[in-house]
Amino acid sequence: MLRPILTNKELIQLMELIKESKSIFICGHRGPDGDAMGSALGWKDYLQALGKEVFVAMPNPCPDFLRWMPGAQQVKFYTESAAEVSSAIKKADLLFLLDMNEASRTQEMAAEITSCKAKKVIIDHHLNPATEGYACVVSRPKISSTSELILRIIYQLGGYGRLTRAAAACIYTGMMTDTGAFTYNSNDPELYQCISLLLGKHIDKDRIYRNVYHTYSEHRLRLQGYILHQKLEFLEGRRAALFTLTREEMKEFHFIRGDIEGVVNMPLQVKGTRLSISLREDTEKDVIRVSLRSVDNFPCNKMAEEFFNGGGHLNASGGELPFPMEEAINTARRAVEAYKHLFYDNPAH
């Protein structure tokens, strides 16, 4: 049996907010990943089972490899359907922000979300959540993913029996993708109790894995090879790795959203490497998207906050830098230099 994840106060707050609502709006962060999509679709399923009208939107589209998820076709994207999303925000009397610690993570949608009259709730697993202006904040940074948190909330609310196989598949996808298929941030025994509960809904975890990780195009495979052969650079005695990707290079390899998902993890396969940094030119705005991954106790979240205008988890973080790429590369090198003393602390084996 799972231990309660909500305090009594949070439990009562959440139950009352849901009970009093009729129209509910759920959103995730810009650049929605498996966890944002999985937690939103799983939570939508539960709320609809209670008879609520639920609308799910994301600031911009999710990667193609998540489009198979049950219910994903009904998710609206603000960059494509701004008027419809705006109307749903205005109509809502309860708004859930999932997998983000503040409304600014929605970027294009942030102004409408913060100004709407609906009561707002954050459910998230990132550090330093906002509190002002929210009716309830459920923040659990030690939990592997927001999807796991959603499952545990549903379980505590007595809703596991209502959970459908489709919703379970979405929640499992979020848990799987946010832990690199359970290869990091996944040592909590209760995480595997959650997986067992989802398997009890007869999901096919092997098929879910293939749907996420084995549906890439030939262009993606060639792009990955190009990055590893031509762009990957090791720094500080191979303790850190860095690669860049420009718009021109993405165009050459017919880049689509999600094509370099997970590539930032690959340099960590080299013995002794503790940090990997990806710098990619954004295809929509003049910024450099930064992804950081690390192993053991190397704090890439602190590095992201200090150097890359970002943050995240101990071993998985992100941020962004202004153009041009050359300046971003210089910033990354300064970050490696500043943190190099930590590369030799409890080194990877």
State the chain's mean pLDDT as an integer. 95
What is the pLDDT averaged over residues 336-344? 94
What is the pLDDT averaged over residues 81-86? 97
What superfamily would CATH give domain 8-213? inorganic pyrophosphatase (n-terminal core) (3.90.1640.10)
Q: Could you tell me the pTM of the whole model? A: 0.89
Domain boundaries for CATH 3.90.1640.10 within the chain: 8-213
- pLDDT score at 313: 87
pLDDT of 37-64, one tens digit each? 999 999 999 999 999 999 999 999 999 9
What is the pLDDT averaged over residues 296-306? 95
In this predicted structure, the answer to whether residue 76 has a pLDDT above a threshold of 50 is yes
**HEC profile of the chain:** CCCCCCCHHHHHHHHHHHHHCCEEEEECCCCCCHHHHHHHHHHHHHHHHCCCEEEEEECCCCCHHHCCCCCHHHCEECCCCHHHHHHHHHHCCEEEEECCCCHHHHHHHHHHHHHCCCEEEEEECCCCCCCCCCCEEEECCCCCCHHHHHHHHHHHCCCHHHCCHHHHHHHHHHHHHCCCCCCCCCCCHHHHHHHHHHHCCCCCHHHHHHHHHCCCCHHHHHHHHHHHHHHCEEECCCCEEEEEECHHHHHHCCCCCCCCCCHHHHHHHCCCCCEEEEEEECCCCCEEEEEEEECCCCCHHHHHHHHCCCEECCCEEEEEEECCHHHHHHHHHHHHHHHHHHCCCCCCC
CATH 3.10.310.30 describes domain 218-342: yes
pLDDT of 177-199, one tens digit each? 999 999 888 999 999 999 999 99
Domain boundaries for CATH 3.10.310.30 within the chain: 218-342
